[in-house]
Amino acid sequence: QVQLVESGGGVVQPGRSLRLSCAASGFTLRTYGMHWVRQAPGKGLEWVAVIWYDGRKTYYVDPVTGRFTISRDISKNTVYLQMNSLRADDTAVYYCARSQDDYSNYGPFDIWGQGTMVTVSS
Amino acid sequence: SYEVTQPPSVSVSPGQTATITCSGDALPQQYVYWYQQKPGQAPVLVIYKDSERPSGIPERFSGSSSGTMVTLTISGVQAEDEADYYCHSADSSGIYVVFGGGTKLTVL
């Protein structure tokens, strides 16, 4: 069964760090671009980051550039989002999502995880 | 930064047709994808490449494009279609992903 399962969310103080994980099953990360998308409470979807299927490129939305890092471990078939210098406006549900077509970095997101909540508060 | 724009809300009666638009300068060059999201759930893809429908999505969902505007049409709206709908595209480089602000569809 093709699925994504996020973990690692929680409550963290401003300025601290958190690492989210997204475990993939039913397919290999070697051939799919992977994304993180977040949704602040009561707000819309915001794209956060992408890691290309070959692992060579990563890109980020402006507000997280320099603070967040997307990476992956092929041996564990897991994608990560390292979040540093967290701010109150990073509070959101964080989803990982898969690009639909293999050997594609973008396009539609056909598989989404259930999301993990990150709350940044003192 | 690049943005795509959706109306905040659309309301229709059951059986009527709902249209939700997504506009952006790069849309003539970039595909648009549409997602349905119900409260407490992850988004679900309902249209890809402007007008293609994934398997399992009812035929009443359709998409079209014209210049800088793309439209999601739901024909014969049912109560179960009440949800938030988001368009998804990319900037002119194709590298940076963007979502519209979302449209809340209310079935009266």
- Statement: residue B1 has pLDDT above 90: no
Q: pLDDT category, A102, cuts 50, 70, 90?
A: confident
* Chain B contact set for A108 (CB, 8 A): 33, 45, 48-49, 88
Rg (CA), chain B: 13
pLDDT beyond 90 at A41: yes
Q: Could you report the per-residue pLDDT of B44-86, keeping only the tens digit for each?
A: 999 999 999 999 999 999 999 999 999 999 999 999 999 999 9
Confidence of residue A104 (pLDDT cuts 50, 70, 90): confident
Residue A45 contacts B where some CB pair is shorter than 8 Å: yes
Interatomic CA distance for residues B47 and B31, integer angstroms: 11
Inform me whether the pLDDT recorded for B91 exceeds 90: yes
Q: Taking 90 as the threshold, does the pLDDT of residue A110 lie above it?
A: yes
The pLDDT-based confidence of A34 (bands split at 50, 70, 90) is: very high
Q: Which parts of chain A are beta strand (E)?
A: 3-7, 10-12, 18-25, 34-39, 45-51, 58-60, 68-73, 78-83, 92-99, 109-112, 116-120
Q: Can you say how many angstroms the Cα of residue B52 is from the centroid of all Cα atoms in its chain?
A: 12
Mean pLDDT of A10-34: 97
CA distance linking residue B103 with residue B72, whole number of Å: 11
- Nearest by CB to A59, from B54, B86, B96: name it: B96
At position A17, the amino acid (one-letter code) is: S
- pLDDT tens sequence across A46-97: 999 999 999 999 999 999 999 999 999 999 999 999 999 999 999 999 999 9
Of A45, A62, A106, the CB nearest to B43: A45
B67-93 residues labelled b (16+ CB within 10 A) or e (exposed)? eebbbbbbeebeeebbbbbbbbbbbee
Neighbours of A25 (CB within 10 A): 10
Helices and strands (H and E) in chain B: how many: 0, 9
